[in-house]
Amino acid sequence: MSDDDSTRSRHGWEDQYYRILSGAAAGLLAVGSIVYHYLEDWSWVDSIYFSTVAVTTVGFGDLTPTTDRSKLFTVFYLLSGIAIITSYLNLRFRHRHANVQKRRN
């Protein structure tokens, strides 16, 4: 396998991984929003806002889960969500960096 074939293969795998992570990140935010909407009786906007603020570890503290079920969900949501969002953002920034490098060359 030539270097060119190896590079294409690696980029193909990264593109597939990027699509999977993009879907997982979007799905994660959707699930969190739905769960908070029903468990906390928050508006859809508040639910999406809290889901996003929580997994990006910003944590303003203006909204907090109040029920035991919501608190337990939040523990698992954050543990899985932080890993997914961090992986997605890392790969997103790597793609962006590669595109900038291509333009420079």
Task: Decide: 28 and 84 in contact? Cβ < 8 Å.
Answer: yes
pLDDT (tens digit per residue) in 1-38 = 444 554 555 566 677 888 898 899 999 999 999 999 99
pLDDT averaged over every residue in the chain: 86
pLDDT higher at 105 or 39? 39
Structure token digits, residue 49: 């806002």
The interaxial angle of helices 3-39 and 44-55, nearest 10 deg, is 130
Q: Note the pLDDT of residue 12.
A: 63
Q: Which amino acid is at 49?
A: Y
Dihedral over Cα of 15, 16, 18, 19: its sign: positive
pLDDT at 79 over 70: yes
Percent residues over pLDDT 70 in the chain: 87
**Residue holding tokens 């969190």?**
32
pLDDT (tens digit per residue) in 87-99 = 888 888 888 888 8
Architecture of the domain delimited by 3-104: Orthogonal Bundle (1.10)
Q: pTM for this structure?
A: 0.76
